[in-house]
Amino acid sequence: MNRKSLISIIIASILLLISVTNASDQGVSLTVIAENLRNSKGVVQIALYNKDGTIPDEHYKNHFKMKKVAIANGEAQYTFTNLPKGVYAVNILHDENNNGKIDKGMILPKEGIGFSNYSSLGLTNRPNYKKASFELKENTTIKVKVIYM
């Protein structure tokens, strides 16, 4: 084998190794579907968390990523892309007046809220990161029930 052929093979091998490494570093996607919306007013705010102790987060200051999305046919969805594999939790707000915060009556929220892994909320079933979290290893779709109090 001559020197030019050897160099060509080495360069091709390096390029192949780089492309395989970059493909595995790209991360995964998470599609979040907010279900059970009572109307199409406002937007749905989808907050993604990746650290223990960040939920509850009433003022949305501890999120990892957040997106506001439009409502269509009683639901809203968004796909977070290029996420590192890991443990995450989702918090949903049906922000009917689009003011970016949870509007409350006396104590309870007037707008719909939801958390991953929760089908109901109450004094004995308060949201926290540990209960809401799930492991994200591959491209995944989750549905989050929006609850109105």
Helices (H), the chain: 3-25, 129-132
Q: Give pLDDT, residue 53.
A: 93
pLDDT per position as a tens digit, 9-31: 667 667 766 655 444 567 999 99
DSSP 96-111: TT-SSS--BSSSSBSS
Q: Report the distance separating Cα 35 and Cα 4, nearest Å.
A: 61
pLDDT per position as a tens digit, 80-114: 999 999 999 999 999 999 998 999 988 889 999 99
* From 12-16, 53-57, 120-124, the region with the lowest mean pLDDT: 12-16
Q: Report the distance separating Cα 71 and Cα 39, nearest Å.
A: 9
Look up the pTM and report it. 0.80
Over residues 21-46, mean pLDDT: 87
Domain 26-145: top CATH class: mainly beta
The whole-chain average pLDDT of the chain stands at: 89
For the chain, what percentages of helix, strand and coil (3-state, to nearest 5) are there? 20, 40, 45
Q: Give pLDDT, residue 6.
A: 60
Q: Give pLDDT, residue 58.
A: 87
Q: Which of 101, 109, 132, 107 is nearest to 119 (CA)?
A: 132
